[in-house]
């Protein structure tokens, strides 16, 4: 019986053994890492200026509103908005009829005055001869002399009136005082030009300024003559360096801002009125930066590929901050000193290897 | 033998022995049981109901202290007034207060919530003005997804994936068993207005105007009716924004008569947000074949979580859901979207249940083989036949009573298997014996045979029922966990007894012939029997031998008790590895699961990108492991809630410093390494990575088999002064870290977070005509972003919010707010920097409360040893610790009774976590067992009309204990709560054995045998059935040994029963003889 019992126990043991027979499986290996030849770079901790940016607009330093000195109908306007003009170009001609009439009148007055003078001079010569002979009194000569002097003055007056009338002819043609561009044309041919009312607005293109306003708390760091970076949106990413020309020392008591004008370098493809930002340097930070081209996106997240041991890369999610000139500030995700893939490549996946040809060597 | 009484056994067997009713009963039970097995909801573990809720109150701008005084303290008091509330937790932070309430385990969920709502709404008037109405969120187990399916893709982003997942989710609702369907992860469409403060400033458009314009123009209203051309027509103002263009073309200002559009001053993006606060990803691990192709890919993922309705069968629900999802995948999902089932509690439950049913039948077969050897195949077959019937009855009862089929309820059946067959064995044995002796009509003999054993069998069964029923008195979560044992074993026992009186005589009558007994054990006095007689005579008559037996027994008993106790009393102290012959005492061992969780928490100041980096690094290690099939990474939020997270309260954490990796393993049947070993193996590598991120907490959380707690070892330090608490927390953390085997240490004290306090210069602001409200309206879009209305589109599945925010790259440093323009009433723009001062400070630290007192928590887990020794070690270090000002820390709550916090003039450390649960459980079980023994004693006194005999019969219980601890030591297992249940079961078996011996002695005596001979003969005769029962119990339970959780139960039962049976045969007759010697003389 106990033999049989033993056998039963054995059966039982075998049953449990069956349940317990297991082995760990081998596992499936991840795909082989590919090797890609991409440049790498080291993440820098660079000093980045702390900038105070203020928006503003480009303005022209010379802006001339052309108006007529004389009154007259506009006979011809030679330019239109946007036309580029040079100094001395004829811009406007005003109907000269009134002016010519005045000249004729003055010339007539002049010849009348000349005739009157020669008559008066002959009177004086004749009376002097008569006085020597005693034919007339001293009194008569004195009066004739006075009449001659008056006529001479009248002649000068008529001459001056003619000169004035002739000068008026010059004002009927208006020429450009500067090299520049026509930005507005307020009157049309046939309109009456009256002194004080602009006909054309022209702006200089040689000298552009950037006007911005600086808040009270930062006006202290702005000094005339300091160089300032100005980013004009229309110029793309390139910043230009201007120089602070003047600070208008009168702030707005409500908005607490002061106007500052910055002289822009010449030769820019900038038109007055373009939007831009002036970046005043108000301090300096040490920040982690990566080249703009290293920034990539995987799974909807911005980040970069970190080159780890043996050149294997893995993706790291980054919080990017300010865009510096050709670099991007990284606020979280990198400590500086890591090696990253310097140029994004769509083929790149976590686990791939980088075979370095350019730039820094990967960390070991 | 005298004429037996006409007891229940007589009556039942009389009815059933020849009746057709028996066949009908068998058929009915089979039918009913099969249906019940099919229909009863299946679960892996019994559902533990702990009604809990969170009440949150917004109090914008209020400091943490203000929130504590005005919101949290009164609310906590109101809530703790409710009957049935176990604990309250509270958190007071700047601007918000949260009170968590947990009811006692087993309280009715609906009733509890009604009480809570009632209480809160009745006290709404006590809330301070300016605070929001309390928002009550119930934490409902039924809302927890039982199936999660992850959609992952390398080519589609999580916005697209979410749309697909939502489309799928809509198609799942029509399944009747499906309850809540959630989509976690992914992003929604929004109209994002990326403001550039510089551009706004350049155009002279203040931020406030953008806000006001957006809010004031997104409007449609019905304007009434009018009658035109003889019919009524309605008039409607149609002004809603219908798409991003409408927003883009909104005029926000003008300059020289030219309009400035919103599109001029901002970038308007229609689509998912680019600047993420949380993400989820998916990776295939080396355990999945797809790793070979997609291993290196970083896949965006969204997870569809499907909960089931209460009372429905998770198995069917999971099958239906997954079938639908698969069909939808074929129907409309693009090919490069992976659909992976990442959680399937239905399948898990089904596997566990099927495995156990399989184990049950293996155990039955083993018992059957034993029975063939002892009883002959016919009898064995009859006995075995009753087992499935008992199973049917029990599961049928579960079905009606609302107990699910789960591991615990099936283990209850396996553990009672030995006892189940015993009733049938006793009956069939007696019938057999009677048939052999012959004498009379077969039917009559059968009935008499039943009636003869009826009394003893009834008594023995009643004893076992009483013992197990007493388990119902265990309270709290363990009570719920073990409830199926307390219910199923008594039901099974009662059923087995009934079947023993009905089906067994019927079958015996039909199939067992008269006078066919071939072997007769009593007829051959073998060597064993001679040895037994010699031993018995010696011990009955010689005091020295007897006392030697008593002495050895007692000494062995004390030695075995020393096995778990030695570590406490040994000279080198309680800390350190367990002694080589020791047995650790734990609560519930961890189970071998198919998943575990890596929970990561970086310091509060960590940006989400940094947390992501940590998660990625940890994940990279995990996916290389060949046992890991896939991982789900969550950054900025915790993953899909599971039961564990629900009980730990870690299910809905959100924040840039939160990370979680859900790791799914290959099926446990296909690997050798258990999840526990795997975690132990992976932990050093994961911790090494986390060590590179100072201040990071890593927890590798395995789902516990039973109730989950906030931590295994949890020190709750109560006190009044927040700074002292913080300092104590720091010291506690160090002490924890220096403790042997302590891992995953966490504290509730956050890092200080730097805060820019923006202080408005009131004079300047007033002179400029700007109010605080205007400044606030500007600051929110700058840093937090602000939703201003939504797009009203007919074809969008979601609300599409219009969000105004400043992109990260444009976000101004709070110290440099020059370009932020605030507009005054006169329309003038003033730089914000001119109106405010920025002061650097610290954010308000959150204040924690538990049970109405200020508290700070320090928690830890133990990698492999039992927490009880760690606690003993820690307690000795903490108790009386100098705090300063002559104060000393008091510790408590490691006695059997729970202690309530008390901060009057002192600082107190109360131990909580799993240790408390364990103490409660052991206390309850100990008490329950004592109570059960008292009941059994009373029962026996009633039956025997004697006080001595019950005492003798119950002497076998401590005898059984001798086997328990050495058994654990041999198996290398910890003594656990299930071992404790095993001891309770053991008590039932042991009493039963000794009762059968005593019954026989009395029977022999009544036939005129002398006491000594009667005792000796009873020992000889009962040795066989006792051996049979013992073998049935041992072999029936042996299948449980492999289970990590219920192994302890099996060990207690197997070794206890073995030792107890061997000793019972010797000690009980001797004791009985000594006890009744006087009476005979």
- Among partner residues A19, A277, A332, which is closest to B198 by beta-carbon distance? A277
CB of B298 within 8 Å of a chain A CB? The answer is yes
**pLDDT at residue B313 is higher than 50:** yes
Q: Which helix (H) or strand (E) holds B90?
A: strand B85-93
Reported confidence tier of residue A2, pLDDT bands at 50, 70, 90: very low
Mean local confidence (pLDDT), B47-66: 89
Residue with tokens 């749309």: B163
CB of B877 within 8 Å of a chain A CB? The answer is no
Mean local confidence (pLDDT), B941-961: 85
Predicted pLDDT of residue B861 = 86
Predicted pLDDT of residue A364 = 37
| Cβ contact A30–B626 (<8 Å) | no
Residues of B in contact with A218 (CB under 8 A): 818
Closest to B818 (Cα-Cα) out of B839, B834, B837: B834
Reported confidence tier of residue A361, pLDDT bands at 50, 70, 90: very low
Mean local confidence (pLDDT), B997-1017: 83
| Cβ contact B158–A300 (<8 Å) | yes
| Cβ contact B609–A216 (<8 Å) | no
* Shortest distance, CA B593 to any CA of chain A (angstroms): 15
Q: What's the whole-model pTM score?
A: 0.81
Contacts 24+ apart (CB under 8 A), B110-116: B111/B84, B112/B51, B112/B82, B112/B84, B113/B51, B113/B53, B113/B138, B115/B82, B115/B83, B115/B84, B116/B53, B116/B55, B116/B79, B116/B82
| Cβ contact B370–A5 (<8 Å) | yes
Closest to B990 (Cα-Cα) out of B1021, B1020, B952, B941: B952
Residues of B in contact with A321 (CB under 8 A): 808-809
- Among partner residues A1, A254, A301, which is closest to B373 by beta-carbon distance? A1
A-facing residues of B in 1017-1046 (CB < 8 A) are 1031, 1035, 1038-1039, 1041-1042
Task: Name the more confident of B321 and B1023.
Answer: B321
**pLDDT at residue B272 is higher than 60:** yes
Top residue of B355, B605, B609 to mutate, by most chain A CBs within 10 Å, is B609
- Among partner residues B625, B808, B834, which is closest to A216 by beta-carbon distance? B834
| Cβ contact B816–A52 (<8 Å) | yes
Residue B1036's closest chain A neighbor by CA?
A12
| Cβ contact B809–A323 (<8 Å) | yes
Reported confidence tier of residue B69, pLDDT bands at 50, 70, 90: very high
Give the pLDDT confidence of A30-45 residue by residue, as tens digits. Answer: 777 778 888 888 888 8
In order of B546, B912, B998, the CA distances from B533 in angstroms are 14, 55, 17
A-facing residues of B in 523-552 (CB < 8 A) are none
Task: Name the more confident of B494 and A166.
Answer: B494
Predicted pLDDT of residue A12 = 52
- Among partner residues B300, B626, B829, which is closest to A24 by beta-carbon distance? B626
| Cβ contact A255–B366 (<8 Å) | no
- Among partner residues B159, B199, B289, which is closest to A28 by beta-carbon distance? B289
Residue B161's closest chain A neighbor by CA?
A299
Residues of B in contact with A351 (CB under 8 A): 295-296
Looking at A68-72, B580-584, B775-779, which range is the least confident one?
Answer: B580-584
Give the pLDDT confidence of A181-217 residue by residue, as tens digits. Answer: 888 888 888 888 888 888 888 887 767 888 888 887 7
CB of B520 within 8 Å of a chain A CB? The answer is no
Residues with Cβ within 8 Å of B915's Cβ and at least 6 positions away in sequence, in order, are: B587, B712, B713, B714, B867, B868, B871, B894
* Shortest distance, CA A363 to any CA of chain B (angstroms): 17
Reported confidence tier of residue A362, pLDDT bands at 50, 70, 90: very low
* Cα–Cα distance for residue pair B26/A252, rounded to 1 Å: 102
Please give the share of chain A, as a percent, with pLDDT higher than 90.
2
A-facing residues of B in 416-475 (CB < 8 A) are none
Measured in whole angstroms, how far is the alpha carbon of residue A222 from the centre of its chain? 19
Please list, residue by residue across A231-254, b when 16 or more beta carbons sit within 10 angstroms of its beta carbon and e when fewer do.
bbeeeeeebbebebbebeeebeee
- Among partner residues A4, A26, A54, which is closest to B373 by beta-carbon distance? A4
- Among partner residues A5, A16, A318, which is closest to B373 by beta-carbon distance? A5
**pLDDT at residue B369 is higher than 80:** yes
Sign of the Cα pseudo-torsion (B488, B489, B490, B495, in order)? positive
Predicted pLDDT of residue A18 = 45
Looking at B326-330, B576-580, B1028-1032, B1063-1067, which range is the least confident one?
Answer: B576-580
A-facing residues of B in 129-158 (CB < 8 A) are 157-158
Residues with Cβ within 8 Å of A300's Cβ and at least 6 positions away in sequence, in order, are: B157, B158, B159, B187, B272, B274, B276, B300
Reported confidence tier of residue B522, pLDDT bands at 50, 70, 90: very low
| Cβ contact A24–B673 (<8 Å) | yes
| Cβ contact B626–A25 (<8 Å) | yes
Task: Name the more confident of B151 and B539.
Answer: B151
Residue with tokens 């110029």: A235
**pLDDT at residue A20 is higher than 90:** no
Mean local confidence (pLDDT), B986-995: 84
A–B CB contacts, 8 A cutoff, strictly below? 185
Residues with Cβ within 8 Å of B373's Cβ and at least 6 positions away in sequence, in order, are: A1, A4, A5, A8
Reported confidence tier of residue A1, pLDDT bands at 50, 70, 90: very low
| Cβ contact B671–A25 (<8 Å) | yes
| Cβ contact A54–B818 (<8 Å) | yes
What does pLDDT average to over chain B? 85
Top residue of A3, A27, A43 to mutate, by most chain B CBs within 10 Å, is A27
- Among partner residues A53, A317, A322, which is closest to B612 by beta-carbon distance? A317
| Cβ contact B818–A24 (<8 Å) | no
* Shortest distance, CA A7 to any CA of chain B (angstroms): 10
| Cβ contact B609–A333 (<8 Å) | yes
- Among partner residues B158, B362, B627, which is closest to A24 by beta-carbon distance? B627
Mean local confidence (pLDDT), B797-820: 83
Predicted pLDDT of residue B98 = 92
Mean local confidence (pLDDT), B896-923: 85
Predicted pLDDT of residue B31 = 94
| Cβ contact A322–B809 (<8 Å) | yes
| Cβ contact A217–B1041 (<8 Å) | no
Residues of B in contact with A255 (CB under 8 A): 828-831
Residues of B in contact with A337 (CB under 8 A): none
Give the pLDDT confidence of B145-169 residue by residue, as tens digits. Answer: 999 999 998 888 888 899 899 889 9
**pLDDT at residue A363 is higher than 50:** no
- Among partner residues A24, A275, A320, which is closest to B671 by beta-carbon distance? A24
Looking at A116-130, A142-156, B70-84, B1017-1031, which range is the least confident one?
Answer: B1017-1031
Please give the share of chain B, as a percent, with pLDDT higher than 70.
98
- Among partner residues B607, B1038, B1039, which is closest to A332 by beta-carbon distance? B607
**pLDDT at residue B373 is higher than 70:** yes
Task: Name the more confident of B661 and A164.
Answer: B661
**Beta strands B190-195; B266-271: pairing state:** antiparallel
* Shortest distance, CA A203 to any CA of chain B (angstroms): 20
Reported confidence tier of residue B849, pLDDT bands at 50, 70, 90: very high
Give the pLDDT confidence of B168-215 residue by residue, as tens digits. Answer: 998 899 999 898 899 998 888 888 898 888 778 777 788 888 888 888
| Cβ contact B607–A349 (<8 Å) | no
| Cβ contact A301–B279 (<8 Å) | yes
Residues of A in contact with B289 (CB under 8 A): 28
Predicted pLDDT of residue B244 = 86
* Cα–Cα distance for residue pair B467/B989, rounded to 1 Å: 10
Give the pLDDT confidence of A293-350 residue by residue, as tens digits. Answer: 888 887 778 888 888 877 788 888 888 887 777 788 888 888 888 888 888 777 777 7
Predicted pLDDT of residue B148 = 94
* Shortest distance, CA A8 to any CA of chain B (angstroms): 7
- Among partner residues A23, A217, A319, which is closest to B833 by beta-carbon distance? A217
In 3-state terms, what secondary structure has residue A203? strand
Residues with Cβ within 8 Å of B717's Cβ and at least 6 positions away in sequence, in order, are: B725, B728, B729, B732, B855, B856, B857, B858, B889, B907, B908, B909
Reported confidence tier of residue B525, pLDDT bands at 50, 70, 90: low
In 3-state terms, what secondary structure has residue B505? helix
């Amino acid at each position: 019986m106990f033999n049989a019992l033993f056998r039963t126990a054995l059966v039982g043991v075998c049953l449990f053994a069956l349940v317990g027979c297991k082995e760990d499986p081998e596992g499936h290996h991840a795909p082989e890492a590919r090797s890609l030849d991409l440049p790498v770079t080291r993440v820098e901790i660079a000093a980045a200026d702390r900038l105070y940016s203020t928006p503003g607009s480009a303005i022209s330093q010379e802006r001339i509103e052309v108006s007529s000195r004389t009154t007259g109908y506009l006979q011809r306007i030679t330019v239109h908005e946007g036309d580029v003009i040079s100094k001395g170009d004829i811009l406007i001609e005003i109907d000269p009829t009134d002016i010519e009439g005045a000249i004729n009148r003055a010339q007539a007055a002049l010849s009348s005055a000349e005739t009157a003078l020669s008559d008066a001079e002959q009177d004086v010569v004749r009376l002097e001869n008569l006085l020597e002979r005693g034919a007339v009194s001293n009194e008569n000569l004195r009066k004739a002399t006075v009449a001659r002097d008056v006529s001479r003055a009248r002649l000068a007056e008529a001459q001056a009136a003619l000169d004035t009338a002739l000068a008026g002819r010059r004002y009927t043609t208006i020429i450009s005082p500067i090299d520049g561009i026509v930005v507005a044309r307020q009157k049309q041919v046939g309109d009456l030009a009256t002194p004080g009312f602009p006909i054309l607005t022209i702006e200089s293109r040689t000298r552009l300024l950037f006007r911005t306003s600086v808040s009270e708390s930062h006006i202290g760091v702005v000094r005339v003559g300091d160089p300032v970076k100005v980013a004009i949106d229309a110029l793309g990413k390139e910043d230009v360096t201007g120089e602070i020309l003047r600070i208008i020392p009168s702030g707005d008591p409500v908005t607490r801002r002061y106007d500052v004008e910055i002289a822009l370098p010449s030769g820019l493809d900038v038109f007055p009125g373009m939007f831009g930002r002036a970046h005043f340097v108000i301090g300096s930070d040490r920040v982690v930066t990566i080249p703009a081209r290293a920034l990539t996106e995987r799974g909807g997240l911005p980040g970069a590929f970190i080159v780890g041991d043996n050149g294997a890369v893995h993706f790291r999610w980054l919080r990017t901050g300010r865009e510096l000139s050709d670099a991007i500030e990284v606020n979280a995700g990198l400590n500086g000193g890591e090696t990253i893939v310097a140029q994004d490549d769509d083929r790149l996946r976590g686990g791939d290897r980088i075979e370095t040809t350019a730039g820094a060597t990967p960390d070991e | 033998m005298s004429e037996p009484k006409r007891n229940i056994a007589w009556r039942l067997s009389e009815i059933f022995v020849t009746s057709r009713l028996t066949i009908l009963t068998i058929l009915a039970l089979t039918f009913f049981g099969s249906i019940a097995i099919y229909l009863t909801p299946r679960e892996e573990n019994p559902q533990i109901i702990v009604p809990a809720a969170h009440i949150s109150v917004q109090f914008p701008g209020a400091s943490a202290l203000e929130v504590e005084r005005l919101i949290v303290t009164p609310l906590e008091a109101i809530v703790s007034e409710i009957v049935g509330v176990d604990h309250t937790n509270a958190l007071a932070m700047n601007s918000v207060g949260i009170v968590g309430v947990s009811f006692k385990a087993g309280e009715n969920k609906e009733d509890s919530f009604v009480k809570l709502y009632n209480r809160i709404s009745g006290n709404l008037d006590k809330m301070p003005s300016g605070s929001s109405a309390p928002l009550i969120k119930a934490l409902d187990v039924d809302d927890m997804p039982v199936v999660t399916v992850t959609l992952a893709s390398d080519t589609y982003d999580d916005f697209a994936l979410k749309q697909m997942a939502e489309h799928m989710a809509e198609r799942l609702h029509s399944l009747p068993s499906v309850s809540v369907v959630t989509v976690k992860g992914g992003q929604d469409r929004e109209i994002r207005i990326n403001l550039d403060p510089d551009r706004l400033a350049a155009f002279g458009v203040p931020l406030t105007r953008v806000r006001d314009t957006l809010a004031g123009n997104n409007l449609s209203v019905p304007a009434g009716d009018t009658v035109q051309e003889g019919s009524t027509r309605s008039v409607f103002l149609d002004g809603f924004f219908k798409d991003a263009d409408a927003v883009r073309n909104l005029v926000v200002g003008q300059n020289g008569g030219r309009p400035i559009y919103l599109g001029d001053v901002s970038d308007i993006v229609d689509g998912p947000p680019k600047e993420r606060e949380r993400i989820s990803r998916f990776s295939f691990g080396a355990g999945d074949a797809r790793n070979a192709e997609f291993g290196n890919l970083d896949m965006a993922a969204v997870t569809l979580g499907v909960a089931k309705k209460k009372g429905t069968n998770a198995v069917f629900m999971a099958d239906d859901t997954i079938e639908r999802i698969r069909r939808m995948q074929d129907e409309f999902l693009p090919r490069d979207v992976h659909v992976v089932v990442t959680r399937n509690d239905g399948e898990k439950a089904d596997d566990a249940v099927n495995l156990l049913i399989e184990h049950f039948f293996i155990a039955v077969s083993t018992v059957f083989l034993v029975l063939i050897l002892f009883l002959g195949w016919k009898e064995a077959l009859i006995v075995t036949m009753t087992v499935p019937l008992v199973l049917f009855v029990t599961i049928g009862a579960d079905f009606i009573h609302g107990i699910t089929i789960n591991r615990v309820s099936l283990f209850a059946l396996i553990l009672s298997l030995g006892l189940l067959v015993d009733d049938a064995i006793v009956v069939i044995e007696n019938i057999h014996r009677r048939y052999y002796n012959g004498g009379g009509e077969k039917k009559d003999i059968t009935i008499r045979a039943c009636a003869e054993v009826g009394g003893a069998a009834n008594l023995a069964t009643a004893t076992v029922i009483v013992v197990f029923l007493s388990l119902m008195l265990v309270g709290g979560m363990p009570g719920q966990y073990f409830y199926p044992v307390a219910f199923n074993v008594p039901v099974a026992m009662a059923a087995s007894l009934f079947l023993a009186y009905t089906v067994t005589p019927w079958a015996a009558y039909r199939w067992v012939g008269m006078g066919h007994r071939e072997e007769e054990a009593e007829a051959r006095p073998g060597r064993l029997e001679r040895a037994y007689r010699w031993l018995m005579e010696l011990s009955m008559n010689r005091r020295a031998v007897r006392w030697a037996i008593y002495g050895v027994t007692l000494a062995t008993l004390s030695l075995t008790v020393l096995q778990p106790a030695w570590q406490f009393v040994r000279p080198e102290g309680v800390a350190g590895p367990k002694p080589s012959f020791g047995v650790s005492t734990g609560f519930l061992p961890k189970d071998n699961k198919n998943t575990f969780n890596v929970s990561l928490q970086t310091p509060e100041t960590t940006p989400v990108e940094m947390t992501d980096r940590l998660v990625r690094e940890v994940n990279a290690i995990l996916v290389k492991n060949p046992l890991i099939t896939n991982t789900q990474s969550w950054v900025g939020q915790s993953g899909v809630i599971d039961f564990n997270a629900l009980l730990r309260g870690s299910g809905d954490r959100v924040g840039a410093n939160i990370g979680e990796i859900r790791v799914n393993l290959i099926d446990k049947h296909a690997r050798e390494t258990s999840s526990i070993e795997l975690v132990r193996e992976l932990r050093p590598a994961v911790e090494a990575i986390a060590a590179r991120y100072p201040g990071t907490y890593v927890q590798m959380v395995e789902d516990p088999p039973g109730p989950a707690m906030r931590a295994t070892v949890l020190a709750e330090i109560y006190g009044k002064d927040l700074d002292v608490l913080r300092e104590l927390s720091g010291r506690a953390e160090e002490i924890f870290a220096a403790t042997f085997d302590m891992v995953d240490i966490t504290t509730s004290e956050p890092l200080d977070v730097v805060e820019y306090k923006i202080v408005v210069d009131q004079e300047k602001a007033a002179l400029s005509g700007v109010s605080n409200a205007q400044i606030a309206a500007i600051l929110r879009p700058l840093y937090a972003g602000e939703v201003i209305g939504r797009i009203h589109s007919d074809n969008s599945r979601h609300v599409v919010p219009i969000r105004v925010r400043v992109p990260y790259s444009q976000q101004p440093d709070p110290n440099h707010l020059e370009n932020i323009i605030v507009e005054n009433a006169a329309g003038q723009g003033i730089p914000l920097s001119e109106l405010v001062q920025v002061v650097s400070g610290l954010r308000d630290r959150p204040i924690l409360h538990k049970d109405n007192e200020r508290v700070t928590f320090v928690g830890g887990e133990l990698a492999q040893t039992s927490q009880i020794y760690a606690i003993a070690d820690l307690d000795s270090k903490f108790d009386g610790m100098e705090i300063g000002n002559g104060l000393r820390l008091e510790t408590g709550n490691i006695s059997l009774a729970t202690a309530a916090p008390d901060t009057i003039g002192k600082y107190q450390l109360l131990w909580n976590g799993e240790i408390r649960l364990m103490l409660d459980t052991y206390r309850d079980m100990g008490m329950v067992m004592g109570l059960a023994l008292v009941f059994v004693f009373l029962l026996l006194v009633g039956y025997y009309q004697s006080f001595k005999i019950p005492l003798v019969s119950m002497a076998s219980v401590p005898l059984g204990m001798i086997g328990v601890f050495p058994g654990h030591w041999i198996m290398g297992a910890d003594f656990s709560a299930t071992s404790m249940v095993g001891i309770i079961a053991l008590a039932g078996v042991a009493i039963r054995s000794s009762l059968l011996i005593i019954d026989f002695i009395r029977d022999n005596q009544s036939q005129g045998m002398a006491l000594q001979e009667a005792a000796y003969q009873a020992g000889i005769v009962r040795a066989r059935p006792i051996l049979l029962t013992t073998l049935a119990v041992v072999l029936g339970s042996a299948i449980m040994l492999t289970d990590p959780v219920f192994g302890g139960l099996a060990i207690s039962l197997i070794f206890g029963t073995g030792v107890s049976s061997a000793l019972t045969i010797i000690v009980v007759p001797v004791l009985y003889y000594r006890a009744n010697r006087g009476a005979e003389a």
